[in-house]
Amino acid sequence: MRESPSPLERAAARNLVKSYLRVKPEENVIVESWTHTLSMASAMVDEVRRVGGRAVLAYENDDAWWRAVARRQTRLLGRLTEPEWAALRAADVYVMFWGPGDSARVEKVPEKNLDEAAGWFDRWYRIARSTGLRGGRMAMGFVTDSRARRWGVRKEAWMNGLLGACLVDPKEMAESGRRLARALHGTAKVRIVHPNGTDLEVALSGAPPRVYDGTPHPKDRAYGPYDMLTSLPGGRLVVALDARTAEGTIVSTGPSYDLTWYPWQTYSGGRFEFSGGKLTAFSFEQGGAEFAQRYARAQPGKDRTGYLVLGLNPRAKNLPHSEDIERGGVQLTVGANAYAGGHNPSDFTGWVSLAGSEVRVDGTSVVREGRIL
């Protein structure tokens, strides 16, 4: 366990505190950390104090958490203490890191017990919405030894990539997002093409696009009920699609990851084929059987397009579970899209991602080979 932040962690924390979270003097800031994220959490606390904010570090020890799980006390873990609720009500900013660090062990915990351990969720967000809390969910918490081994990536390179993506000026991504949002409005037709065989036409639902430049959106009705906490690093545009329109094929250029928390299933070599607005065929080089099982159990709407994501972050590149923020990258989902302002009621979400494609809106190119035009 390393508690002393690296220079890159300090630089990322400084930019996040000043440019993304915009912490002001005298504001109350809670930084919630697990054992494996202490170094970056320490950097965040330091940078909050540097700008005159008042910081408290809320530390969940991994070993103590697992001992409670072994005693079958997951329901107790889901009940926060009264001092924690009071602190939440008094906080202006909240920074949370994902955990615990032994992600392979978490995947073996029954889903029922994980739900019990997250029993605080609904009440927590009700309070956060009522107070105007703003903050961030730190993707650096996803970087664990077991996950890096499972996904076949270098842990240090993954972490450094996420930290580097936090150094971008959010104003740059906001401007790129606004340009795309102006094009992606109404019920325009969107065509996605790529030399790998991708040629797909979909249509927008008419819902306004949402630009996620890494800054939080408390009490903003144009965003979702959980967007008072932003994902860090950030940088993507999300727009709901018309579930009745889809013709053609989209083929992934990289892996994608299951939306559900656990298990962290990986899908690669993905291919979706659409006809008459419906998903008529899908295949994966890896993870196909698992995808098919989830798809078979899903509710109606699973075979319709959900939403389209375009990446805005110029420093994000080949980041596991963050492929949706890579500038110019495309992610297309099927299934539920209420999150993006759509009306698809399915309980299923699946997607494929590709980089280096061209995106045309009513015949006009807006993205080409990683560039936002």
How high is the pLDDT of residue 290? Answer: 87
How high is the pLDDT of residue 258? Answer: 64
How high is the pLDDT of residue 185? Answer: 87
Strand partners, 367: 359, 372
Per-residue pLDDT tens listing for the chain (373 residues): 567 899 999 999 999 999 999 999 999 999 999 999 999 999 999 999 999 999 999 999 999 999 999 999 999 999 999 999 999 999 999 999 999 999 889 988 998 999 999 999 999 999 999 999 999 999 999 999 988 988 889 999 999 999 999 999 999 999 999 999 999 988 889 999 999 999 999 999 999 999 999 999 999 988 999 999 999 999 999 999 999 999 999 999 988 776 555 556 778 889 999 999 999 999 999 888 988 998 999 999 999 999 999 999 999 998 988 999 999 999 999 999 988 888 888 999 889 999 999 999 999 999 999 899 9
Q: What residue type is assigned to position 303 of the chain?
A: D
Domain boundaries, the chain: 7-165, 170-220+234-372
Under CATH, to which class is 7-165 assigned? alpha beta
How high is the pLDDT of residue 18? Answer: 98
- The alpha helices in 82-154, defined as continuous H runs, are 82-90, 103-106, 111-117, 121-131, 145-151
Closest CA to 309 of 326, 295, 294, 321: 326
Strand partners, 326: 313
